[in-house]
Amino acid sequence: MYIEEIEALLPHRYPFLMIDRILALVPGKTIMAIKNITANEPQFSGHFPQEPIMPGVLMIEAMAQAAGILVFQNDDIQVAGGSAYYLTGVDKARFKRPVIPGDQLRIDVEFLKSRLGIYVFDGKCHVEDQLTVSAELMCTVKQP
């Protein structure tokens, strides 16, 4: 899935769209996406400008956006047009390696369960084969 299809599913736009491409998607189960990290992104001018690293919160956001696409591509979940997808919680977040300009962040998200309108996911990001962050994400869909 390329950027045009991603933009049709998510309301986010530059500079806050954290998904550049979907590499693999199994509806209702898993998604693998990428985010290319470039030096001209706005966070790098203020986030450790002498040694720029991607803020951890943006990696969490990238996983949440991938989870949103996974939910919107699940045939078992009925989502009305104009629905919004919100991150409602983050548990067990661990940051293992800095992400720097020039890296390609691979975002892997797996659906774990849903209950009372809350969807729970296991998220991991890697650069090459190195884990950069892992977290359990909770999200919900707000219908219009």
DSSP 31-48: EEEEEE--TTSGGGGTSS
| Residue 127, CA distances (Å) to 54, 68, 80, 96, 123 in order | 12, 21, 35, 11, 14
Q: Token match 């400008």: residue?
A: 49
C-beta atoms surrounding 51 within 10 Å: 8
Q: How far is CA 38 from the centre of its chain?
A: 17
Please identify which of the residues 47, 83, 93, 100 carries the catalytic annotation. Answer: 47
Catalytic annotation on 47?
A: yes
Residues marked active site are found at 47
